[in-house]
A and B are shown apart, each in its own frame.
Chain A
Amino acid sequence: MVQKQQLPITSEDYQRRLLMDRSVPGRTGVSLPALDVPEQPLPGTGMLRDDLELPEVSEGEVVRYFTNISQLNFSIDTNFYPLGSCTMKYNPRVNEATASLPGLAQLHPRQSPEQAQGALELLHGLQEYLKEVTGMQGCGLVPLAGAHGELSGILMMRAYHMANGGSHRRKMLIPDTAHGTNPASAAMGGFDVVAIPSDADGNMDMEALRREATDDLAGVMFTQPTTLGLFDTHVVEMCRIIHEAGGLVYGDGANMNAILGRVKLADLGFDVVHLNLHKTFSTPHGGGGPGAGPVCVNERLLPFLPEPVISVEKSSDGNRYVFSRPTQSIGRLGGFFGSFGVLVRAYTYITLLGGQGMLDISGNAVLNANYLKEQLRGYFDLPYDRICMHEVVFSAKLHSGVKALDVAKRLLDFGFHAPTMYFPLVVDEALMIEPTETESKETMDAFAEALRRIDDEAANDPDFLHAAPHSTPVSRLDEAKAARQPYLRWRPD
């Protein structure tokens, strides 16, 4: 009798084999031109290398491999992605078209400013737009991501205090709701971090703030709206207290889509704010970057902006754009002038939407979040029951034994990306939901329906929930094992 043999390979296994597992000696995925100059003498073999192993695969195989594994991802293009604080909204494709124009994508950063006037005009225009939406006096486009923008803001605050006899000002106040990058950035600037609690309404605790506003105060890092999705109504008073104590106010612009055109952070008293172009201005997240985190500053911090900024020299034969170094610049933060390709995308988006579009962004972001909040009222705890801004934070505490993690994982089975969970830290079993401004009522209704069904499952079949997700390419992964036995690159089995 012929024994039924197990297939040597399933399509799933095949799909997951790594490039090195597919390597066949002699294969390549590229054709390169012949050498068209006489061969030149090589250096001694002592300098040369013969041990570099790289995959040897055909072009067709490269395409099939990367196409197949791409389909294991959720993305905005395929799924609703209500990831709080991350602003996963639609990324218009015109952004991609403009960023790949040859005069922008092929432009070399070592070319002279005279050869790059179009690029400098664009960068200058973006600086002006970002100054206008924040109400600030200056803008530096150099920071390469949000956290990099924080670092540059922190370094400017430090430089300001050093220049004004405040080298003893080492204390940086950061609310307990803040993103983890805030304290990490403050530490990289050499500051000591002091956490400030939130009050019962989700605003910053003003008593705690007053207590810490001592003469060693460097400033505060504050996210407005906060990561609770709330507009902190103490903000003007907070800025006044900090300023009276000689400190500066840093604004984390992660949630700017909630307030674009509705209020300017400079008017409220902020001294410096960074913007996440990959959130607010629709540049794609790319699975974790590249981003861009320009910083905008008021007059006090203008001399400290990172190098370079773009200025304009006006004359009778037209504008000439030049790079300049602010007088007391904190220096260079990256190789060149920022994530230019990302800056082009953001400039494209702002040009497309115009001033009215800024109001539409914030209006729709806040409308959608409040609508979704009402759809889910009663199904999950609402620790701060106020009008929310662009996102709403629930607590998944209604059913005992059911965790935010279970809800988040089960949502994947419904084809919805999970909300941000366990953040902010001040809310137990937090589910932070940001529908964003580009989602329709129908999508949000479907999402709310999925959550209501999950709530029903939590009551009736909690085990099924604990085992979710059931339909993704892999089930829950063993993170403890990954950390305990680090397996960080391909190796031959």
Chain B
Amino acid sequence: MLQAIGVGSVDDLFQDIPAEFRNPELNMPAPLSEMEVLQELQRLSERNLYPGRYTSFLGAGVYRHFTPSVVSALVSRGEYLTSYTPYQAEASQGTLQSTFEFQTMSSQIMGMEVANAGMYDGATSLAEAALMACRVTQRGRVAIVDTVAPNYAEVVRTYAEPQGIEVYTVSSSVRELEPDTACLLVQSPNFFGHLEDVGGLTDVAHNHGALMCTSADPVAMSMFKSPGAYGVDIATAEGQALGVPPSFGGPYVGIFTCKQEFFRQMPGRIAGRTTDTQGRTGYVLTLQTREQHIRRERATSNICTSTALIGLMATIYVACMGKQGLRRVAELCYHKAHYAAGQIAEIPGYSLPMEDTFFQEFVVRCPRPPAEINAALQDRGIIGGLDISDLTPNGMLVCVTEVNSRREIDSLVSALKEIG
């Protein structure tokens, strides 16, 4: 090969690099065999204390649900795993057709007219929804309800403020918005697990000529009224709950849906159905004139990925669950969480400070700092709820899903009784 190129060595191919900077010292370890790599990663894995070995009641935006075995079997197929973004449609119909399925599923779950192919995660979806609302309304302020998850609110600020967009906080009983407000951002179920009055808040937004943008848990949407039913304009969700492992925070997929009238302002990839030269049905990436590779600095967003593989995971999960299965999962979560909440509320010193309807997650007021209680729970093999004492006094956010058996719930209750 070197002969064909006409050089003497591989090093000769790097002669364009200035000599004084070429071949720097590289302080990295020696290669390892595959067996040694697996042992090293096994060691790191076992240094963590993880749900499975421990009973866990953590949620706060990331939810553990049972995932049928076919999900990982199918997404690990090399045809999905090792293909690129489907620019060459003729060679990518598998990815494009499954993306079209993802868009169908996203729109159905959210009760909305159209969806894109997916965003990075739930937090960035909400941030992109805010930016999109500013484009649609040509306004420059964003109102965010104070029950939106704090990490989501921070991402919205990181995205919006450099573009000169002002983000301000309102309570969920807000009735008036500031002038020049492009949208109202609401999460339901909110960070504390409770359902918001999405219909009422949508009216508030619309009365001010602003768009209503929401973030939701897609599993809850199989049981509770959808954003679409309330007239929401842009509805987003964290797709992780649909069969995607917690994986310490990612990769996940953001669900992004909106009303038909706004779809040309959507960020991200979109698959569309069309026909080939012989009249056969096929799918392509479409409406690409919104996108960065065509429009460059005038694009609707810089995003390229649709987090396709995670979107596929969610699609296969929903296909397995189907209409009845997903509703059943939601009901199991609802009943178990309410059972747990009832039991915990009866323990002396513990109470439930919030009264609104919740889905699978609720706030417990503890008799002492949740950090102390969680340490004592950990000794008993239990990962307790999230310590939110910075948001509400001695608050612990407890999540119960279908993967928590009654025995696990009862053991949490007796442990809390003992710890006091």
Of the candidates A147, A190, A472, the one whose C-beta lies within 8 Å of that of B292 is A147
Q: Which 6 A-B pairs have the closest CB atoms?
A: A336-B249, A118-B47, A77-B78, A286-B309, A103-B45, A289-B305
Among B85-93, B140-148, B200-208, the stretch in contact with A: B85-93
User: Nearest B residue to A90 by beta-carbon distance?
Assistant: B82
Q: Provided the pairs A63-B74, A467-B277 are in contact, do residues A490 and B62 lie with their beta carbons within 8 angstroms?
A: no
Identify the closest chain A residue to B309 (Cβ). Answer: A286
Asked if A486 contacts B84 (CB within 8 A), the reply is no
Query: How far does the alpha carbon of A190 sit from the alpha carbon of B28 in the complex, in Å?
Result: 38
Chain B hits for A97, CB < 8 A: 38
| B245: chain A residues within 8 A (beta carbon) | 100, 105-106, 341
- In contact, A73 and B319 (Cβ under 8 angstroms): no
Q: How far is the CA of A70 from the CA of B103 in the complex (A)?
A: 17
For the complex, count residues of A whose C-beta is within 8 A of B: 187
Counting CB contacts under 8 A, is A297 at the interface?
no
Is A287 in the interface zone, CB < 8 Å from B?
A: yes
Among B66, B98, B318, chain A packs the most CB atoms within 10 A around the CB of: B98
Could you tell me if B157 and A331 are in contact, using CB atoms closer than 8 angstroms?
Answer: yes
Instruction: Annotate A217-255 by CB proximity to B: 1 below 8 A, 0 otherwise.
Output: 000000000000011010010000000000000000000
Number of B interface residues at 8 Å Cβ cutoff, please give it: 191
Complex: A371 Cα to B101 Cα, angstroms: 42
User: Taking the nearest CB of chain A, how far is it from the CB of B277, in angstroms?
Assistant: 5
A127 within 8 A of B: no
Contact B88 A74 (CB under 8 A): yes
Minimum C-beta distance from A81 to chain B (A): 7
User: What's the least CB distance linking B224 to chain A, in Å?
Assistant: 6
Alpha-carbon distance between A69 and B80 when the two chains are bound, in angstroms? 10
**Apart from A32-B325, A55-B323, what are 9 other A-B pairs with CB-CB below 8 Å?**
A18-B104, A49-B225, A62-B74, A63-B74, A70-B94, A73-B92, A290-B250, A339-B251, A475-B278
Interface 0/1 of A27-45, CB less than 8 Å to B: 1111011011111111100
**Interface segment out of the listed A206-214, A347-355, A395-403, A457-465:** A347-355
B162: chain A residues within 8 A (beta carbon):
155, 158, 188-190
How far, in angstroms, from A262 to B15 measured CA to CA in the complex? 10
What is the chain B residue whose CB lies nearest that of A102? B52
Hey, what's the 0/1 contact readout for A79-106 against B, CB within 8 Å counting as 1? 1010100101001001011111111111
A115 at the interface (CB under 8 A from B): yes
- Inter-chain contacts of B59 with A (CB < 8 A): 110
Stretch in B168-176, B179-187, B295-303, B344-352 touching the partner: B295-303
In the bound assembly, the distance between CA atoms of A267 and B110 in angstroms comes to 50
Q: Does A330 contact B (CB under 8 A)?
A: yes
Give Cα distance in the complex from A66 to B278, angstroms: 24
- Tell me, rounded to whole Å, the shortest Cβ–Cβ distance linking B413 to chain A: 11
Q: 0/1 per residue, B44-79, Cβ < 8 Å to A?
A: 111111111000101111101010101011101111
Looking at the assembled complex, report how far the CB atom of A279 sits from the nearest CB atom of chain B, in whole angstroms: 10
Task: Judge whether A482 and B38 touch: CB under 8 Å.
Answer: no
Mask, A60-80, CB within 8 Å of B = 1, is 001101110111111111110
